[in-house]
Amino acid sequence: SHISHKLGDIDLVAIARDVLKKETIQEEEYETENGCWYLLRALPYRIASDVYSGVVMVFIDITALKKTEIDLQKSQVRYLLAQRSARIGTWEWDIPGNQVYWSNNIEELFGLAEGTFGGTFEDFLDLVHPEDGKKVEKAVRASVEKDKPYSIEHRIILPDGKVLWMFENGEV
C-alpha cells in the first residue's frame, strides 16, 4: 500500500524530521485548500532505546473552532467600533484582586494615553473630581454591599485639567 508523504501542501516527512531533530512536540494549525482547519500534533517517541525513532502525528479537525474564533474576532471589532462611535466603554472590577479591566477606548474617554491606566479601583478614583469622589465611593459601596444597581453621574478631571461629566451604570 502507498502512504502519502503530503497532506495537501503539508510535508509530513519534513515535519517528522524537524520533530525528531528537536526532540520536542510540535503543534501547528493548517488550513486546507477547501477551507478546513486541522491542528497537527507531532510527538517524538522511542522504541526500546534512548534514541527517538519515530513520530506520532495526530490531526484534529478544528474547522468549527476556527470559524467560531474568526466570528468572535469580527464581533469584537464591531463591538469596539460601536463603543468608539457612541463614546462609551465597558469595565469590569475584580473586587478581591482589586483589578479594573477597561475596554480599549475608556483610556481615551478619560484623556489617558493608551496603556497608562494603572488598573486599580484607586487609580479610577484618582480620575474622579475631588468633589464627587465620596459620592462615587458611596454608590459603589451600596452596589457591592447591598446588591443595588450602580448608576451615577459624576465628573472626572482629564490630565489637561478639563472637567467632563460621566454617566456610569452597572451591577455586581
pLDDT block averages, 10 residues each, the chain of length 172: 57 81 84 85 78 78 92 94 92 91 88 90 94 96 91 95 94 87
d(CA 78, CA 76): 5
Side-chain-side CA neighbours of residue 85 (13 Å): 6
Nearest by Cα to 166 from 88, 80, 105 = 88
Q: How distant, in Å, are the alpha carbons of 5, 10, 36, 160 from that of 68?
A: 31, 24, 13, 42
Contacts of residue 1, Cβ cutoff 8 Å, sequence gap at least 6: none
- Rounded Cα gap, residues 111 and 160, in angstroms: 8
Q: 73 to each of 13, 30, 67, 70, how far by Cα in Å?
A: 34, 19, 10, 5
Whole-angstrom distance, CA of residue 146 vs CA of residue 151: 14
